[in-house]
Structure 1
Amino acid sequence: MPRTHRSNFCQSIFPLLVVCNATMVSAQAPSAEDVKFFENKIRPVLVKHCYECHSKDSKEVGGKLLVDSRDGLHRGGESGPALVAGKPAKSLLIQAVQYDGLQMPPDQPLPEAVVNDLIEWVRRGAPDPRQPKAVAVRQRDGSTVSGNEPLWSLQPIQNPAVPDVLNAEWPRDPLDRFVLARIEAAKLTPTADAEPRKLARRLYFDLVGLPPTMSAVEAFVADYESRGPEATANLIDQLLASPQFGERWGRYWLDVARYGESNGNDGLSRNPTFPHAWRYRDYVIQAFNADTPFDQFVTEQIAGDLLPDDSPEQKDRQRIATGFLALGSKPAKAMNANFEMDVVADQIDAIGRGILGLSVACARCHDHKFDPIPTRDYYALAGIFTSTETMWGTAAHEGLTAPATDLHVLQTAPHTPPPKDFVETVAVTDSNTGKPKTPPKSKWKPGTPLAMGVRDRAKPADTKVNIKGEMAKTGEVVPRGFLTACELAEKLEVDATQSGRLQLAKWITHPSHPLTARVLANRIWLQLFGAGIVTTPDDFGVYGERPTHPELLDHLATRLKAGNWSIKQLIRAIVLSRTYQLASDADAKLIEGDPQNRLLTRHSRRRLDAEMLRDSMLQVSGQLQLQPAEGSLVRHRDILVNLAGNLHQPSNHRSIYLCYLRSSPPPELAAFDLPDFASVIGQRDVSTVPNQALHLYNSPFVIEQSNHFAQWVLSETASAEGRLRSAWERALGREPNQAEIAKALELVRLTETELADEDKAWASFCQALLIANEFRYVD
């Protein structure tokens, strides 16, 4: 539609499409999740589809409606409100984008996914964080956009003096003094130490993600009574050296790396698989077990293919590491003019929020409205990735294909080679008939090890600003570089003959970088305490939370760097601290004085995550296989895209080896806040809803493990009370008391009478233990 016709149409239609005034929108400040949703899903739509006619820069504002500011939306246009916050069905805005009587935008409907995002935004109450809240932004020419005080997280990391405390006998580690100083300032006293039995269970779950056996608990309790803290240090060292450590802590990083073995629904009702992604998973597990220094770990993932190597094995490992940049969920390529830059946006977001804790990707269409990230900085980084070729392997349909990287050898992974004559590919189906097409020709022989990854393009080059994020509308060329708001002790320049990824990795891991060590230290603290010192681990920006203990965070970041970026070393220091070893219960006065436990006066009781819950059930039932799974289910099968069989086949390996398909999670895990793995996840949601209890009650997996558990119980002894004791000790790591024994015996007898089946009666009792709160929570 010509521009003049669009304006006339807008003047006749858009007066109806106005937004309610401020009193109709929630007065509360948007949450960090709402801010992320608006910046990633809503603002880009407004910029792309509405600003032409409804911004202060429009030649003629349609219907006097401005959408380029929060105040403009709140004021609305000529005909009054058209948006009812929290009620999409009653909002004219939603009716218009759904082409229900009204039609917006007029030339063609928005994609269904975009309309759904707008509906979700209205359902949330239309949270809009755009407020006149400026921050200092230093431009590349040296000028500064004036604003409020500089962002705390961009200030140099300090090495603060350890504070004095009144109770000098209480701290066991310098970090305890930072915590105790705050507690004493509030005139409170921390709770007592956790009893050894509970501490053992906490350490096992936090370090290896599995429950201790009863014999292991008894051995630790006896050793603790004899040697005290030395026994705790010995147990910690054993757990850190266990191969299960990498499987537990590697899972945390895979969340950050948005690891998945399929692309997710691309809008064409397809879910293309990534048959080579598992090699990156194994690389991460091995890196955590080897305690690879974090600066090296990051460098390998960003620029492993550009690093020198001493052997073919090292070369392969470094190339596999770059899967970090290739794993992202990619949009449908068909009819997507911005496909390349969408892939780049995902890579920038993985580095921005995943490693730096900043939402850099928000600056794709405009200067970041809150954080000091101008659009030029975004395209300085984008040039690094447009100079990089992303290889994600043979994908599942012609709209999403790219070469994989072939590996010289694969001695770095302890897996058997692929089956004879197996080709790592995915069958392609005809879009009309659904019948398989002839597999595409491959330059690789059957069984050739392949991996996802990246490499430099033949001719690296700077890129142009994409006006409003559109590749078809370009502005000035921006030299490749880094975020100007992060000032380092030395200036790093991009090598013009390379993409710049190697220099980017050096910039990120530079000892004077203000973000990298802080973000990692906070992530480690989060996994051990249930909440980070910064409770928004992926957002250290203006709208992220401020640290509860800023000096403690800098102290931990300083120790991390001084300790050669060793993750195990920092974990060891934290779990040896008095703060970590506190009990989770406290008296009413202490809870009243620190209701949210922000002062860390006690430990927080936490629910097992999905993987730990499943793995614990397998261990208690005696079915857990601790050896690593071989490759991936995707790797071992040719999958038809539209007629795909179930990839979630039974497995007794640890949950990290399950098939993590986007849009189709492992059914045993889905009920317990499993993320979609489409974006960086530093902290999973934790919900407690009735559906979870119903899931555990009816889950075929839980029922199967209950049956195995019952068979073990029945084989232990003929005594009913003896069976109860054995089951209790195996499942909960403690002996039952007399009241528990009496109730359990009554349950078994009643169930056996009703079912007339002893095996089923004991299986029912075992299931009750596996779904009990005590089994699912850690003190």
Structure 2
Amino acid sequence: MRRLFRVAAVGLLGLMFAHHGPLRAIDPPSSELSDDWVYEGLRDPKPPVVPANLANRVRNPIDAFLLAELGKKGLSFRPDAAPATLIRRITFDLTGLPPTPEEVAAFVTDPSDAAYEKLVDRLMASPHYGERMAQSWLDLVRFAETDGFKQDDPRPGAWLYRDYVIQSFQNDKPYDRFIQEQLAGDEMFPGDSQAAIATGMNRHYPDEYNAVNLEQRRIEILTDITDTVGSAVMGLTIGCARCHDHKFDPILQSDYFRIQAFFAGWGPVDQPVFRNADEKTAYEKRLQEWNSRTASLQAKQAELEKPYLKSAGAKSRQRFDAEYAKLLDLEPNQMTPLQIQIRSMIRNQVVNQPKANVPGTMKAPDKEAWTKLQQEMEAVAGPKPAAPPKGMMLTDVGPVAPVTHILRRGNWQTPGKVIEPGFLSAIDDRTADITPTATTTGRRKALALWLTQPDQPLTTRTIVNRLWQHHFGVGIVGTPNDLGVQGDRPTHVELLDWLARELVRQKWSLKAMHRMMVLSSAYRQASTHDAKSAEVDSGNALLWRQNRQRLDGESIRDAILAVTGKLNRAQGGPGVFPEVPADLKAIAKDWPVSKNEADRNRRSVYVFVKRNLRYPLFSLFDAPDRTETCGRRFVTTSAPQALMLLNDRLILQHAKDLASRVLTESGNEPSGIVDRAVRLCYSRAPMAEESHELQTFLKEQSVRLAATFPDAKVAFREAVVDLCHALLNTNEFLTID
């Protein structure tokens, strides 16, 4: 095993034992804040006047709110962070990537407020801004490209939703519109293909498509949708009220099922997505021509398939009891809305799955004949026109929804009283005013409009708290998916409400809110320790310093690819499959590693999300499993993290790539190599003592490696690889200061 010098050893120990994130220990906020504060209407506070000795640190109203509280404790902000530290922080925050050495050098030369504002605007205009901001939202809506459970079947069109989210953030889609599209895009914006794709938010539930008890499966799906909307959009654990009234929050069991009733018309659809009308017209014309020229051959294929489809369908049909199975023989106008939902689930197993699998079940002579017909079709008319990707969307089964019951103890087998769609009684004790359309219930539209009212306290507080968490490591309420009684108390409730109202004043622009936060003195301050401040507020709840944050697994991978020069910045499209560690290949049979190296080096947001096999680097660095909503990732420190960065073959290859780049850009002089490597990895110049130690390491390591590599040039190059490997393992590379 390679010998790594002490910089790496110290960094690894830091990774394993350093504390990441604030402790949040401080006196609770004002006693006049009630336990049910989040259900109360938004306050309309004014930015406070700060003490004169602190006024010079106020860059915008955010600073005024924070400094007013700090002043009461005799505290203030830390000084602004060093320019190199600040540009690294803001670049990672807004793009998820490190700045280039050239970008750092330009900013360090002019770190003025005007230059910083231009930097922020440039980063927000970067195509990588949307990719970075999408990551947290995908955690929230439990986005995945497979079903989960034992089968874990792929969802081929799921990536269209991921790309929709990225573009929505990139284009600064107003947050109210963003929510409306995801809850009811088909109802509110008919004909808009992106709004239809947006409804895929409600299709990311884990699912076992081959389940037999379909009424239970339906309820489990509706439960998942309801719980996710409650946590992700409202910031409440409404799922705790499914079996009984919430034990702590003023959420009744009837409230839970009033919300669930909005989704009772559940009608999943997978539809082709075209970029525009011309593309659709052209595809349909090509397909019509191809079908016309191959009609007789297709008919012969169908005859070969018929007995296999009949046999497979009959076998699948036998899995269901007679009451279920007979639904296959009915027309939609003969069924209730609930029966239509059940029938669609049965049909998928009895008709759709066998149709997709039939060629693989044929006997040899029939398979040979079927294949020959396939070849004849291509000879006659060429390959069949490639179908566009199908988006996973949600609509309703019709203008009438199945009845919603309050389930006793949450058990689908013990339905209680019927309940209509309505809102949370603690805020708005009304039954929803609903107007059905010709094809949908209109229910989801009513919920979307209620959640995006300008004075809606839940939606607005929840999202600005999430933005705050993104930039400061922890939200004003430290439990972003639970602003209720059992969650953390807000440290600055007036600031939270001011931000919520400011979001609406800014026409629901998330970019405007991000910009305000990162332009504040609070954000720009150093993260250095101050003993006096720590005595008063050891957990930094009052934000007298900026918080250091460990990079998430996706950003670690992206940063490594960026500094090696291997990052493929192409955007959008189906998920890619990077290589996995060698010891996983035996069990990763359904992880088809992308053949093209450029595809393997795409950004991490485009890595295929498989529920039953998370990409190992992401999993080790605390990526959620996407089975339920995740509002804040855990940040753990463990030996396997350090061991992977030290020993994994892929990381070693990245170190070689980084060494190649450094040698190409700096030449063979140790001083130049050290300077370039440190600037790439740390976004700063090496300190004099640091440069001396690293150059000494290069010389000593070259001597050590001479026994293995007699060629002095080769030994020196391998020493550079070791140097680069060490830098990638250090705490400074893995954290945002």
Question: If the TM-score is normalised by the length of the shorter chain, which range does it land in?
Answer: 0.7 to 0.9
Deviation sequence 1:137-162 (CA, Å, 0-9, x none) = xxxxxxxxxxx966110100111022
Deviation sequence 1:13-32 (CA, Å, 0-9, x none) = xxxxxxxxxxxxxxxxxxxx
Rounded to whole Å, the distance in 2 between the matches of 1:222 and 1:183 is 32
Rounded to whole Å, the distance in 1 between the matches of 2:607 and 2:482 is 29
Q: Which amino acid in structure 1 is aligned with residue 196 of structure 2?
A: R
Distance 1:456 1:438, change over 3 A: closer
Rounded to whole Å, the distance in 1 between the matches of 2:173 and 2:355 is 43
Secondary structure in 1 matching 2:405? strand
Name structure 1 gaps, 5 residues minimum.
1-147, 392-403, 422-427, 635-641
TM-aligned CA deviation for residue 615 of structure 1: 0.5
Deviation sequence 1:521-555 (CA, Å, 0-9, x none) = 00000000000000000001110111000001001
Rounded to whole Å, the distance in 2 between the matches of 1:333 and 1:482 is 34
Rounded to whole Å, the distance in 2 between the matches of 1:715 and 1:676 is 40
Q: 1:688 aligns with which of 637, 642, 648?
A: 637
TM-aligned CA deviation for residue 775 of structure 1: 0.7
Identity %: 36
Q: Does 1:303 align with 2:184?
A: yes
TM-aligned CA deviation for residue 262 of structure 1: 1.0
CA contact (8 A) 1:584 1:604 kept: yes
TM-aligned CA deviation for residue 355 of structure 1: 0.5
Rounded to whole Å, the distance in 1 between the matches of 2:225 and 2:516 is 33
Q: 2:163 aligns with which of 282, 304, 326?
A: 282
Rounded to whole Å, the distance in 2 between the matches of 1:778 and 1:383 is 44
Q: Does 1:664 align with 2:613?
A: yes
CA contact (8 A) 2:144 2:609 kept: yes
Rounded to whole Å, the distance in 2 between the matches of 1:206 and 1:501 is 34
Q: 2:138 aligns with which of 254, 263, 266?
A: 254
Q: 1:727 aligns with which of 642, 660, 677?
A: 677
Deviation sequence 1:462-518 (CA, Å, 0-9, x none) = 411222222222111101222122239x98512255140001000111112111000
CA contact (8 A) 1:256 1:682 kept: yes
TM-aligned CA deviation for residue 216 of structure 1: 0.4
TM-aligned CA deviation for residue 658 of structure 1: 0.4
CA contact (8 A) 1:388 1:454 kept: yes
CA contact (8 A) 1:162 1:174 kept: yes
Q: Which residue of 2 is the match for residue 455 of structure 1? A: 395
Distance 1:516 1:643, change over 3 A: closer
Q: 2:480 aligns with which of 525, 534, 537?
A: 537
Q: Which residue of 2 is the match for residue 210 of structure 1? A: 97
Q: Does 1:340 align with 2:228?
A: no
CA contact (8 A) 1:209 1:612 kept: yes
CA contact (8 A) 2:84 2:104 kept: yes
- Give the count of matched residue pairs: 586
Secondary structure in 1 matching 2:457? coil
CA contact (8 A) 1:525 1:532 kept: yes
Q: 2:79 aligns with which of 192, 211, 219?
A: 192
Q: Does 1:406 align with 2:272?
A: yes
Rounded to whole Å, the distance in 1 between the matches of 2:65 and 2:497 is 11
Q: Which residue of 2 is the match for residue 775 of structure 1? A: 733
CA contact (8 A) 1:481 1:494 kept: no
Q: 2:195 aligns with which of 311, 318, 322?
A: 318
Rounded to whole Å, the distance in 2 between the matches of 1:522 and 1:412 is 42
Distance 1:411 1:186, change over 3 A: farther
Q: Which residue of 2 is the match for residue 387 of structure 1? A: 265
Q: Does 1:652 align with 2:610?
A: no
TM-aligned CA deviation for residue 688 of structure 1: 1.4
Distance 1:729 1:566, change over 3 A: same
CA contact (8 A) 2:187 2:442 kept: no
Secondary structure in 2 matching 1:202? helix
Q: Which residue of 2 is the match for residue 745 of structure 1? A: 695
CA contact (8 A) 2:420 2:431 kept: no
TM-aligned CA deviation for residue 758 of structure 1: 3.0
Deviation sequence 1:360-389 (CA, Å, 0-9, x none) = 122222122211111212222222212121
CA contact (8 A) 1:522 1:532 kept: yes
TM-aligned CA deviation for residue 271 of structure 1: 1.5
Rounded to whole Å, the distance in 1 between the matches of 2:248 and 2:446 is 27
Deviation sequence 1:266-286 (CA, Å, 0-9, x none) = 2xx322111111000000000
Rounded to whole Å, the distance in 2 between the matches of 1:211 and 1:250 is 18
Distance 1:478 1:371, change over 3 A: same
Rounded to whole Å, the distance in 1 between the matches of 2:654 and 2:135 is 23
CA contact (8 A) 1:668 1:701 kept: no
Rounded to whole Å, the distance in 1 between the matches of 2:592 and 2:539 is 42
Deviation sequence 1:277-315 (CA, Å, 0-9, x none) = 100000000000000000000000000111235xx6xx2
CA contact (8 A) 2:35 2:485 kept: no
Deviation sequence 1:208-249 (CA, Å, 0-9, x none) = 11111111011112222xxx2111111000001111000000
CA contact (8 A) 2:576 2:606 kept: no
Rounded to whole Å, the distance in 2 between the matches of 1:412 and 1:587 is 63
CA contact (8 A) 1:462 1:480 kept: no
1:22-101 paired onto structure 2 within 5 Å: none
TM-aligned CA deviation for residue 332 of structure 1: 6.6
Of stretches 622-631 and 445-454 in structure 1, the one that deviates more from structure 2 is 445-454
1:225-264 paired onto structure 2 within 5 Å: 228-264=112-148
TM-aligned CA deviation for residue 438 of structure 1: 6.3
Rounded to whole Å, the distance in 2 between the matches of 1:648 and 1:356 is 39
Rounded to whole Å, the distance in 1 between the matches of 2:64 and 2:613 is 46
Rounded to whole Å, the distance in 2 between the matches of 1:155 and 1:332 is 41
TM-aligned CA deviation for residue 412 of structure 1: 13
Deviation sequence 1:705-763 (CA, Å, 0-9, x none) = 11111111222312122111111112112222232223222322333333423332211
Q: Which residue of 1 is the match for residue 41 of structure 2? A: 156
Relative to the length of structure 2, the TM-score reads 0.76
CA contact (8 A) 1:461 1:499 kept: no
Of stretches 743-752 and 537-546 in structure 1, the one that deviates more from structure 2 is 743-752
Give RMSD over aligned pairs: 2.7
Q: 2:461 aligns with which of 498, 512, 518?
A: 518
Secondary structure in 2 matching 1:580? helix
Q: 1:576 aligns with which of 514, 519, 541?
A: 519
CA contact (8 A) 2:421 2:431 kept: no
Distance 1:643 1:168, change over 3 A: closer
CA contact (8 A) 2:576 2:602 kept: no
Deviation sequence 1:67-124 (CA, Å, 0-9, x none) = xxxxxxxxxxxxxxxxxxxxxxxxxxxxxxxxxxxxxxxxxxxxxxxxxxxxxxxxxx
Name structure 2 gaps, 5 residues minimum.
1-32, 291-311, 317-352, 360-383, 578-586, 710-714
Rounded to whole Å, the distance in 1 between the matches of 2:516 and 2:550 is 24
Q: 1:466 aligns with which of 407, 410, 414?
A: 407
Of stretches 444-453 and 582-591 in structure 1, the one that deviates more from structure 2 is 444-453
Q: Which amino acid in structure 2 is aligned with residue 771 of structure 1?
A: N
Distance 1:277 1:326, change over 3 A: same
Q: Which residue of 1 is the match for residue 308 of structure 2? A: none
Q: Which residue of 2 is the match for residue 528 of structure 1? A: 471
Q: Which residue of 2 is the match for residue 548 of structure 1? A: 491
TM-aligned CA deviation for residue 644 of structure 1: 4.1
CA contact (8 A) 2:268 2:393 kept: yes
Deviation sequence 1:164-202 (CA, Å, 0-9, x none) = 211222211011111001101011232111121111111
Rounded to whole Å, the distance in 2 between the matches of 1:544 and 1:618 is 38
Rounded to whole Å, the distance in 2 between the matches of 1:686 and 1:380 is 36
Q: Which residue of 2 is the match for residue 181 of structure 1? A: 68
Q: Which residue of 2 is the match for residue 112 of structure 1? A: none
Rounded to whole Å, the distance in 2 between the matches of 1:222 and 1:552 is 34
1:339-358 paired onto structure 2 within 5 Å: 339-358=217-236
Q: Which amino acid in structure 1 is aligned with residue 394 of structure 2?
A: V
Rounded to whole Å, the distance in 1 between the matches of 2:416 and 2:593 is 47
Of stretches 332-341 and 370-379 in structure 1, the one that deviates more from structure 2 is 332-341
Q: Which residue of 1 is the match for residue 381 of structure 2? A: none
Q: 2:554 aligns with which of 611, 614, 624?
A: 611
Q: 1:480 aligns with which of 421, 432, 438?
A: 421
Q: Which amino acid in structure 2 is aligned with residue 180 of structure 1?
A: L
Q: Which residue of 2 is the match for residue 638 of structure 1? A: none
Secondary structure in 1 matching 2:617? coil
